[in-house]
Amino acid sequence: EPEVTQTPSHQVTQMGQEVILRCVPISNHLYFYWYRQILGQKVEFLVSFYNNEISEKSEIFDDQFSVERPDGSNFTLKIRSTKLEDSAMYFCASSQPGQTNEKLFFGSGTQLSVL
């Protein structure tokens, strides 16, 4: 079965450094998402992406965050200057084309630790 893949599985960085989290969505999917879960808290929506642009973003997704689909297969989340509170598990997800109520397929996540 096709799956969403994320790399790296773990990322440790110093506060203030830039990180890029990478995702390869399922190939025929056109909607892409980033979510995160801070330890002990609920899953939070960050951003959705469709047709090469952001379609929705949450209050969490401030100017420190950006997303890109650089080559038609990868979908990346960049955090420009990481803060301690950015430490979380970051999940990428994608969904079927043209069906905004179709289920999301999630990657296995990137655990980001900011020291």
Partner 1 sequence: ILNVEQSPQSLHVQEGDSTNFTCSFPSSNFYALHWYRWETAKSPEALFVMTLNGDEKKKGRISATLNTKEGYSYLYIKGSQPEDSATYLCAFWNTGNQFYFGTGTSLTVI
Applying CB under 8 A, which residues contact partner 1?
4, 33, 35, 42-45, 48, 55-56, 58-59, 91, 100-109
**Sign of CA pseudo-dihedral 38, 44, 45, 46:** negative
Nearer to partner 1, 15 or 54 (CB): 54
Closest by CA to 80, choosing from 38, 8, 21, 7, is 21
Residue 9 C-beta: closest distance to partner 1, Å: 10
Provide the β-strand partners of residue 35.
45, 91
If one counts every other C-beta atom within 10 angstroms of the C-beta of residue 37, the result is: 15
Give least dist CB 26 to partner 1, A.
13
Q: How far is the CB of 17 from partner 1 (least distance, A)?
A: 26
